[in-house]
Amino acid sequence: VGKTAAVPIQKITGPEGSGMTGFVIVDLDGATAADGVVRCAKKILMDGARTMARSRSYSWALLGEQRSGASAAINVAPPDRDAGIAAFVDAVAPRVAAGELSIDAGKGVGQSELAALQEVDGRSKLRVQARTGGTLADELTATSAVTAAAVALGGLEGRTVAIEGAGALGPALLEVLAAAGARVIAIGTSAGTLVDQAGLDPVTTTSSWAEHGESLPAANGSELGADEVLRTPADLVLCGSKLGLVDHAVAAGLRTQVLAPIGIAPITAKGLAVAARAGVIVLADFLTLSGGLHTFVADPTTTPDALVESVTARTTEVTRAALDHDDGAYLGACALAEQFLSTWNDELPFGRPLA
């Protein structure tokens, strides 16, 4: 397989008259394989896509894999959406079949709409094995996020947690947090925030989440705004609804010990600086989200239980090392990723995965 650098940015156009445009960004020069997600909306900017690709590259580096992150977009208005997605699939299918690129569904795209790509994707099929709380990838992502937070807090037994922007990952997060002994007191979605200081019951909340999705707060009688969750006092805040969510103003209002991303680059550079001055431990998104990537490189005969153990062990090791860094956990994780990247790149990529 040739280097992905041959097509660092692939531009895509849809059927004549559709107005659809798209692109695929590959982050690292010299990788033989790249992967990431594709999002679909009226307008997706390249800067955000580059950040997403960079975050994935750093996740792979923490796992010791010489792979590049990628990020793709389909810019199209609703009337032409289906044709736009079909045009995107046709355009990238040869690269996927060649083994140089893998694309999964992101915001605005259903996984079934990428079925033609999945059929020729050579990665491990473990990514589609389902377990309670969602897919196996969901469980492993929740495991890495919760494990990293547990290491930062010295354990989660009895700790309070606020969750923002978990989306489909929510049920798996509730399950893993409950197993760790944590008490989820707040859940925020785009529709509002549900708060219960006594702790939300994980079984009934998971069921309600599966039924109502983003409407969870309103369905449970909450009238609190969506941003209220980030102001809720809690030992741990898990957040990630969008890039740059936690800017310097939001960071100044955080009332938590640890901020752990469950989405790509939810904190800005200024937000990180403000949070650090306030004594908040900010974990790196490319660390907390790395668990799900294990499904792409594992031996297909590996059991889910063994994968959970592997993710827990690797995340614990990396988080401890990052926390020991003089400049804090986030920059510590950057240093670890960049140390590995330097072993196979002549120059480090410019810029870290911060919004």
Average pLDDT taken over every residue of the chain: 92
Cβ-contact 206, 171 below 8 angstroms:
yes
Nearest CA to 149 out of 170, 176, 189 is that of 176
Task: Give burial (CB, 10 Å; 0-12/13-18/19+) of 355.
Answer: buried
Give the pair of three-digit tokens for residue 213: 């999705």
- Residue-level pLDDT at 302: 85
Model confidence at 264: pLDDT above 90: yes
- 339-349 pLDDT, tens digit each: 999 999 999 98
C-alpha to C-alpha distance for 9 and 176, rounded to whole angstroms: 38
- Residue-level pLDDT at 2: 36
pTM, rounded to two decimals: 0.94
- 34-62 pLDDT, tens digit each: 999 999 999 999 999 999 999 999 999 99
C-alpha to C-alpha distance for 260 and 267, rounded to whole angstroms: 10
Q: Determine which of 126-140, 190-204, 219-233 has the lowest per-residue pLDDT on average.
A: 126-140
Model confidence at 133: pLDDT above 70: no
- Residue-level pLDDT at 1: 32
- 271-282 pLDDT, tens digit each: 999 999 999 999
- Looking at the DSSP bridge assignments, the partners of residue 21 are 13, 75
Q: pLDDT band for position 329 (50/70/90)?
A: very high
- 89-113 pLDDT, tens digit each: 999 999 999 999 999 999 999 989 9
Q: Determine the average pLDDT of the residues in 156-176.
A: 95
Model confidence at 3: pLDDT above 70: no
Model confidence at 131: pLDDT above 70: no
Widest CA span in the chain = 58
- Residue-level pLDDT at 15: 84
- Looking at the DSSP bridge assignments, the partners of residue 23 are 11, 73
Strands 130-131 and 134-135: antiparallel
Q: 47 Cβ partners below 8 Å, 6+ apart?
A: none
Task: Give burial (CB, 10 Å; 0-12/13-18/19+) of 120.
Answer: middle
Nearest CA to 100 out of 158, 42, 36 is that of 36
